[in-house]
Amino acid sequence: MKGPPTASWNPHPTTTVSGMSGTTSPNYRERNSTADRALDILTMFDDTHLVVTGTAVAERLGVARSTAYRYLQSLVAGRFLEEAPGGGFRLGLRVLEIARLARRSYGLTEIALPSMQELSEEVHETVLLTRRTGDLVVCVDRAESGTRAVRISYERGSTLPLNAGASALVLLAWSPEAEARRLLETTELHRFTPATLTDVDALMERLARIRRLGHSITRGELDPDIVGIAAPITTPDGQVTAAVSIAALASRIYPEAETELAQKVRVTANEISERLALTTD
């Protein structure tokens, strides 16, 4: 990351320290070096290195063991590290606190969007993120490919009907059966195209089939020109919290390609679900 440029009025710019320009004092330079080394120590931890030793830290930093231990004790004092029962050092409670705050700072959109954008670029189609609120389905976000982009009516914040469209059916399919039937029976179900289902029993059979398949594919059920392919995003306790879907012009998606695209959507939904699990307390 670029640091702030040296002020134009300074006739004697000093040496850059860790990407920063400007007048620096020896004390500032030492503090910055200490911070860099502390970060180096923290990044030594991974799945196979849950405990590090003073010797390993000295080798990593290229310093004497006495110097390495000073850095380690500073991190222990700040609760970023703690002494491990069998010797060496492990991550401390302060790291867990920061991780908890980091998880809270992520919303569903931030978690899902990278995977959505990757899918959109791969299939060259619009990808939607949707959630259900009562008897309406809301488009939370969307990602569009840089090529073959097409304007569709599913804008962020727009609402979609309960009985039509791949996302709506996925979100309803994993609701409790009694709740899904009650919603369908108490909601005015509109017919948008000849392919739209409005019969409650037929819809319930459709939902059961979607659960068995693990995804939903609709062709011309909400918009006669649109194919939708959706899969559920789940929370760590197995609840469906949202859906990710492809919305594409029907003329571009042949029926033979639907299964392959459905598999890609399911992979994306699983990726988002896994990231969601990592950011959930």
CATH number at residue 191: 3.30.450.40
Distances from the Cα of 29 to the Cα of 21, 22, 25, 86, 228, angstroms: 11, 12, 6, 36, 57
Please tell me the pTM assigned to this model.
0.66
The pLDDT of residue 151: 58
Q: Do residues 72 and 89 lie in contact, with contact meaning Cβ atoms separated by under 8 Å?
A: yes
Q: What is the pLDDT along the chain (281 residues), one digit of tens a residue?
A: 444 333 333 333 333 333 333 444 344 344 447 888 999 999 999 888 999 999 999 999 999 999 999 999 999 999 999 999 989 999 999 998 887 776 665 588 889 999 999 999 999 999 999 998 888 888 888 998 776 655 566 677 788 899 999 999 999 999 999 999 999 999 999 999 999 999 999 999 999 999 999 999 999 999 999 999 999 999 888 899 999 999 998 888 888 899 999 999 999 999 999 998 887 65
The pLDDT of residue 1: 42
What residues contact residue 85 under an 8 Å CB cut-off, 6+ apart? none
The pLDDT of residue 25: 39
What residues contact residue 174 under an 8 Å CB cut-off, 6+ apart? 211, 232, 239, 240
Give the end-to-end CA distance of the chain in Å, rounded to a whole number: 31
- Asked if 112 and 150 sit in the same domain, the reply is yes
What residues contact residue 63 under an 8 Å CB cut-off, 6+ apart? none
- Asked if 110 and 67 sit in the same domain, the reply is no
- Asked if 232 and 210 sit in the same domain, the reply is yes
The pLDDT of residue 208: 97
The pLDDT of residue 104: 63
Total number of domains in the chain: 2
CATH of the domain at 97: 1.10.10.10
Residue 34's domain comprises: 26-103
**Assigned domain for 31 exists:** yes
* E strand spans, 66-180: 81-83, 89-91, 126-133, 136-143, 159-160
- Asked if 202 and 114 sit in the same domain, the reply is yes
The pLDDT of residue 112: 92
- Asked if 204 and 192 sit in the same domain, the reply is yes
- Asked if 60 and 172 sit in the same domain, the reply is no
Torsion over CA of 70, 76, 81 and 85, rounded to 10 degrees? 100
CA angle 30, 36, 42 (to 5 degrees): 135
